[in-house]
Homo-oligomer: A and B are copies of this chain.
Amino acid sequence: MKKNVTIKHIAEYAGVSFSTVAKALRNDPVVNEKTRVKIHYIAREFNYYPNILAKGLRSKKTKTIGIILNDIQSPFYSEIYKVIGDVLNKQGYTMILCDSSFDLELEKKNITTMISQGVEGIIISSVSEKSDNIQIILDYDLKTVFIDNIPEFSNINYVYVNHEEAASLAVEHLIENGHRDILLLNGPEGLSSSQHFLKGYMEKLRASGIEIKNELIRFIGISVEESLDTLKNIFFGKDSITKKDFTAIMTLSDVIAIGIYEAAQQLQFAIPDDYSVIGYDNILATKYLAPPLTTIHQPKKRTGLYSINLLLEQINNDSKELKKIILSPELIVRGSVKKINRC
């Protein structure tokens, strides 16, 4: 790495003191117009890059914010942080992105790293709703917006899409189409989204007078593979239920739903003729699947926008005011649910 050009070098060359350079570079009106211009010119000539570390160390302004998610590859999250990144870029902030992979230890490491890095704030989709990790954030008084779940702490900002309502919407649509035995391919059991989703599933079923069967509720990782494996086991008789025990499948994520499409190919069943399927998230590709996936839309762009605006507002106004935003999901009817007549 080449030795860095600092304000001292510029000062020396310009024949002024380094604090004058500092002021000139910040366009402090106190400095003479001529010297200001000259110093800017020299800085440019010398390829001067201000050292954010030094700046941050002194002023506590690092112009950096952290994003901590459980799966940065997921199209769901990437749509969210895309808009966050755009806003940040416009405001001169940089974004540190971390993946917790649904792991509390990793999440803890990510949080402490963020603190060590001196971020001005974070947006986090936490692994759990009441872990010690959240306490770390609270203790440190780190400016934070939670997304995708609602931690069980009152003094917290969040932007949340109502997963319970989403599950309710899905169950309702399935029931309207004659389904009663609905296999739920949920996310990991420890994940709060899974719990909210489960709650919506159960309550809607109960409200409709349909018996809840525990064997139809599965907690799996959010991936094509785990979804596929689950169905394989069922089809190959390695499971407590058989392929006759349900007529519809709903999932916590479109990615899991895609796993069902893969299973359909491998196990030779038809969607929606053999099983109706409803996903969740409404990621880009779902519209073009065969058949187009009926799913529950999450307002991802708004989640991103609201969360970053909330965070920036807190940072800029040093505000302590709590903001809680709950967004509603929306049913998108396409072609993966079929009306059936029960005997």
Binding site for B on A (CB under 8 A): 1-2, 47, 49-54, 56-57, 60, 62, 64, 72-73, 75, 78-79, 81-82, 85-86, 89, 94-99, 106, 109-110, 112-113, 115-118, 136, 139-143, 224, 255, 258, 261-262, 265, 283-292
Residue of B nearest to A115 (CB): B49
The answer on a CB contact under 8 Å between A99 and B82 is yes
A78–B47 Cα distance when bound, in Å, is 32
Chain A interface secondary structure, helix, strand, loop or mixed?
helix
A180–B265 Cα distance when bound, in Å, is 32
The answer on a CB contact under 8 Å between B57 and A86 is no
27 inter-chain pairs at a CB distance below 8 angstroms, sorted by A residue, are A2-B141, A47-B140, A49-B112, A49-B115, A49-B116, A49-B140, A50-B116, A51-B116, A51-B118, A52-B118, A53-B53, A53-B62, A53-B118, A64-B117, A75-B75, A82-B99, A85-B99, A86-B99, A94-B96, A95-B97, A96-B96, A97-B97, A255-B284, A261-B288, A265-B288, A285-B286, A288-B289
The answer on a CB contact under 8 Å between A85 and B57 is no
The answer on a CB contact under 8 Å between A53 and B57 is yes
A290–B292 Cα distance when bound, in Å, is 8
The answer on a CB contact under 8 Å between B290 and A262 is no
List B contacts of A75 (CB < 8 A). Answer: 73, 75, 78
List B contacts of A2 (CB < 8 A). Answer: 139-141
The answer on a CB contact under 8 Å between A82 and B89 is no
The answer on a CB contact under 8 Å between B56 and A85 is no
**Among B56, B89, B136, which residue has its beta carbon within 8 angstroms of that of A53?**
B56
The answer on a CB contact under 8 Å between A57 and B57 is yes
A274–B118 Cα distance when bound, in Å, is 57
A288 in contact with B287 given A72-B85, A99-B82 (CB within 8 Å): no
A2–B50 Cα distance when bound, in Å, is 26
Residue of B nearest to A2 (CB): B141
A1 in contact with B60 given A89-B99, A98-B95 (CB within 8 Å): yes
List B contacts of A286 (CB < 8 A). Answer: 285
Residue of A1, A224, A289 contacting most chain B CB atoms (<10 Å): A1
Given contacts A1-B143, A52-B117, A95-B98, 5 further A-B contacts (CB under 8 A): A72-B81, A73-B75, A285-B286, A289-B290, A290-B291
What is the minimal beta-carbon distance from A149 to any residue of chain B, in angstroms?
A: 21
A301–B289 Cα distance when bound, in Å, is 24
**Among B60, B64, B82, B288, which residue has its beta carbon within 8 angstroms of that of A262?**
B288
Residue of B nearest to A258 (CB): B288
Residue of B nearest to A287 (CB): B262
Residue of A60, A99, A283 contacting most chain B CB atoms (<10 Å): A99
The answer on a CB contact under 8 Å between A52 and B285 is no
